[in-house]
Structure 1
Amino acid sequence: MRIVVTRPQRSGERTAAKLEALGHTPVLLPLFHPVHHGERAISALSAPMGAIAVTSAEALRALARSEEQLAPYLSKPLFAVGGATAEAARKTGFERIFTASGDALGLTALVKQHRTFLSENEPLLYLAGRPRGTVFEEGLAAAAIPFRTVDCYEMLLSVISQSMLETALAEPAADVVLLYSSEAARAFFRHVSADRYRLKLAATKFICISRNVLSLVPEIFRANAIAAEEPSEAAMFELLRHHSGT
């Protein structure tokens, strides 16, 4: 199957390798690209804090060039939103990693279970990016958990030309499009709003990482769109296997 991967280039390449191993033909269409601000994260780490939270592996990549400055903080508890982020934390060198179920609600619940790590003097440090949802920070505030947020990366819209769209989506037509975030869904359907893409994608399936992302699929494509049971790539691949037989 011809499968369009809308993740940023680095993570998209890892997904493409998995798809190739399953016999598919992946096509990269990176809708966003990261800009890292590792110096902000290192500065924030130097202030008192009881634990760290990350909702994306991109936050850990922002620290990649700061190994020496990062070393004193690798023993701090780190709350990761899901398995991929936890693996990135392990590769970065963090030693005490707690892994949530894959979404902001699960991460909030995990932090609440371990709130004894935290105090007003040593709050949770959330290494965040933009754009982002508000669920995690709102959940922390509602639970009266002290925290600080620092934006250590930005995901900026990539320049997508008409020829890139034609190559990815219509030459030949894509069998599946993988949508990993609300931002990606919004960006993708802004690009394909033209009538010619509506017709060319009429038989394309859209596999969404969550029901929230599914809700952003336009009505004209909704009949061919499905959401993973849990917000993970593994669950998305399970849907892919179910519909492709691999």
Structure 2
Amino acid sequence: MAHDFLSIYPAKLLEYGLAVAYLLMFIPFWRYVQGGRAQEAVVPVTAPRPVARPAAVRAARPTAGWFQLPAGLHLHPGHTWARLENDGLIAVGVDDFAHKLVGPARVDLPALGERVLQGEAAFAMGDEDRTVPLLSPVDGTVVAVNAGVRDGKDGLEDPYGAGWLFKVKATRLAANLRQLLTDGPARHFLEDAGERLALRMSPEIAHVLQDGGTPIHGIAHALAGDEWERLAREHFLT
């Protein structure tokens, strides 16, 4: 009986030895597996680089095409423009945005010989009751005014052509032009102005768009009613 009891020990020792050996073999294997997973977990993931929107995508903005701007103009952020004429004079006018925003029935132009300064009020336009001032895009002396616009005969249906407002003999043209926008930046400026206006008029969009989806002349009146002057001043920087 004592012999049988003692004979159990070799068998148990063998069993324990096998268990210990298994654990000793399993530990390196476990570390290997976990180490591989840790390496996988720390593999950096590179975020995709932002892709610049091509011109075609930018042109798909909601307000693209609402406000036109021909080439060769220098645009002031107050929505007036300057253009070098063949005779060396500078023609001044308002852009398509300003024209459609106010839909003017009256334009008050500077007098011949009057001196205008870039960034300062030089003329005004509005309805029969009130007008809002607009800023001159250049410095100079007024040498011609558009009598048709002044007398209300032709209006501003063609703000970049027959609807020019006055001409000046510029005194600091090179310095003035550096402060104005041309080409792509000028067009983007008009698009941005249109988008800001679209955000404001979204609840009333049916009142300010024609059947073809283009803005009516007199957006400020349609949006703000009697407060149209304040809305116009915000965009004209006056």
Per the shorter chain, which TM-score range? under 0.3
TM-score of the pair, normalised by structure 1: 0.25
The structure with more radius of gyration: 2
- TM-score w.r.t. the length of structure 2 is 0.26
Structure with greater strand percent: 1
